[in-house]
């Protein structure tokens, strides 16, 4: 991070919070720690349930039960999107929100770049989610410079989200990206977002900026969301959310290069983020992530550097290739 003083203060504040509240234990009955979501002022649990393709593997009945399990474990942030099964995930989340809405910071995401189309879909998202207000709506999956131009165009989705925020349909708006940190940096610098969600893992995922939809993996280990886009989010006090913590499980493949998932979890949570969004395909995964969150202690700066060096040298190039074509659905 460019601002070492900011990063050091962040780690010190996290360590102090953990020590004072006694959350550095793996007590399965204790609360999950919370952090402030940047300038929003909202407090969110440091681990969030991603309701994308891993939730869809359960099927409807199983997904609903998995969401209940996550809430029972103290996970208080749900991350869904219209694009997760074209509304199926939102529908399943809504069946839980019908009775447990007050326990949840609820985020969804919208894919269309046309503002009218996005507004129509989000009107139905409210019904699917069975709520009168969504806490956070993201523009989903920013990719290239051309994509950003569509998002910010007259009549585009960004204008629609500003309007929905003004109307209190949502409390906050944000933007997500797992493909190009340079384009995300530009978007964060230009526009009035409250939050942002980006790929943050020890493999230093990221690309060089491309044009016309063309991007190529970048061998430079310093080109990553952590080093390019996250500092802007910190400077603007945006609510920052980490995703792709396990590299869509590609960092966990069997063999000598497999990375310790507990360390990957600790690494991203040691960055200046409010929470990490994780897909959890089994109830054991849900309970394990909740346990890790309760026991969390930040890595030191030297530990982070060494762990990231080892992980990035082995995996950055392959992770970049994988995410060049990855669609978050």
Residues carrying an active site annotation: 84
CA pair distance 144, 141, nearest whole angstrom? 10
Distance of CA 312 to the CA centre of its chain: 20
Burial of 265 per CB tally in 10 Å (0-12, 13-18, 19+): buried
44 contacts: CB under 8 Å, gap ≥ 6: 34, 35, 37, 76, 77, 105, 274, 275
Query: Across the strands, what pairs with 64?
Result: none
Q: Pick from 217, 103, 110: which is nearest to 159 by CA?
A: 110
CB 87 within 8 A of CB 110: no
Q: CA-based diameter of the chain, in Å?
A: 53
Q: Which residues of 236-247 are buried (b: 16+ CB within 10 A; e: fewer)?
A: bebbbbbbbbbb
Q: Pick from 35, 137, 75, 133: which is nearest to 279 by CA?
A: 75
Element (H, E) at 226: helix 225-228
Place of tokens 């960004």: 158
């Amino acid at each position: 991070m460019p601002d070492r003083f900011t990063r050091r203060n962040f780690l010190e504040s996290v360590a102090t919070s953990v020590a004072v509240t006694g959350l550095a234990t793996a007590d399965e009955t204790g609360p999950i720690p919370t952090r402030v979501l940047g300038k929003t002022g909202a407090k969110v649990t440091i681990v969030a349930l991603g309701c994308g393709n891993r939730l869809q593997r359960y099927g409807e009945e199983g997904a609903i039960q998995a969401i209940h399990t996550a809430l029972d474990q103290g996970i208080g942030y749900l991350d869904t999107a219209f694009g997760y099964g074209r509304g199926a995930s939102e529908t399943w989340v809504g069946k839980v929100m019908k009775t447990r809405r007050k326990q949840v910071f609820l985020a969804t995401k919208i894919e269309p770049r046309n503002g009218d189309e996005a507004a129509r879909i989000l009107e139905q998202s409210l019904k699917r989610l069975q709520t009168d207000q969504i806490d956070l709506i993201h523009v989903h999956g920013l990719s290239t410079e051309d994509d950003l131009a569509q998002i910010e165009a007259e009549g585009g989705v960004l204008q629609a989200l500003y309007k929905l925020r003004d109307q209190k349909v949502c409390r906050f708006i944000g933007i997500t990206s797992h493909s190009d940190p340079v384009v995300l940096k530009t978007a964060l610098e230009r526009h009035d977002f409250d939050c942002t969600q980006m790929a943050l893992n020890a493999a230093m995922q990221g690309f060089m900026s491309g044009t016309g939809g063309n991007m190529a993996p970048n061998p430079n280990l310093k080109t990553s969301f952590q080093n390019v886009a996250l500092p802007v989010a910190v400077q603007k006090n945006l609510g920052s959310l980490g995703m792709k913590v396990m590299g869509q499980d590609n960092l966990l493949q069997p063999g000598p290069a497999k990375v310790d998932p507990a360390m990957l979890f600790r690494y991203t949570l040691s960055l200046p983020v409010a929470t990490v969004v994780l897909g959890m395909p089994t109830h054991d995964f849900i309970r394990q992530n909740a346990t890790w969150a309760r026991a969390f202690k930040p890595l030191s700066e030297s530990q982070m550097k060494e762990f990231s060096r080892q992980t990035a040298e082995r995996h950055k190039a392959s992770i970049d290739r994988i995410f060049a074509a990855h669609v978050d659905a």
